[in-house]
Amino acid sequence: MESGVIEFIAPQASNSTPRTDSNSSVVVPSKPYTTTRQSSRYRVVVPVTNNQQRETVLSVVPDAFAKVSQSRTVMQVGVFSTQNKASDMVQILNSRGLRAIIERLN
């Protein structure tokens, strides 16, 4: 084998035990290992019952929009990749007298 070249042998799903290539000391697992990380997202919504609340939401987040969630009208403010970012937005909205809610999405 050339210097600097790494040989890779793909795992075979039909084999139930790890195997060692006869020309190498690399142990190849019978099933590939996968690391699937479920990335959660966090939606921030604000229940609104009147135009004043709606206008307050829009003054903070101009592209917020109305939707029905769990049989109530809410303004969706955004979807965030981390809970901390969603919490920051909740604090901003709460400081304006609104009651923002974080909904975890999967």
With bands split at pLDDT 50, 70 and 90, how would you rate the model's confidence at 5? Answer: low
What are the DSSP calls for the chain, one per residue? --TT--------TT--S-EE-TT---EE-SS----PPP--EEEEEEE--SHHHHHHHHHH-TT-EEEEETTEEEEEEEEESSHHHHHHHHHHHHHTT---EEEEE-
Looking up residue 100, the CATH number of its domain turns out to be 3.30.70.1070
What domain range includes position 63? 41-105
Residue 28 belongs to a domain = no
Average pLDDT, the chain: 79
pLDDT digits (tens, 9 = 90+) for 49-77: 999 999 999 999 999 999 998 889 999 99
| pLDDT, position 96 | 97
Distance of CA 40 to the CA centre of its chain: 3
Q: Looking at the 3D structure of the chain, how many domains does it have?
A: 1
Backbone φ and ψ for 83, nearest 5 degrees, come out as -65, -35
Cα–Cα distance, 44 to 68 (Å, whole number):
13
Residue 17: inside a domain, yes or no?
no
**Which of these, 102, 55, 83, 72, lies nearest to 64 by C-alpha position?**
55
pLDDT, position 21: 52
For residues 42 and 28, the model is more confident at: 42
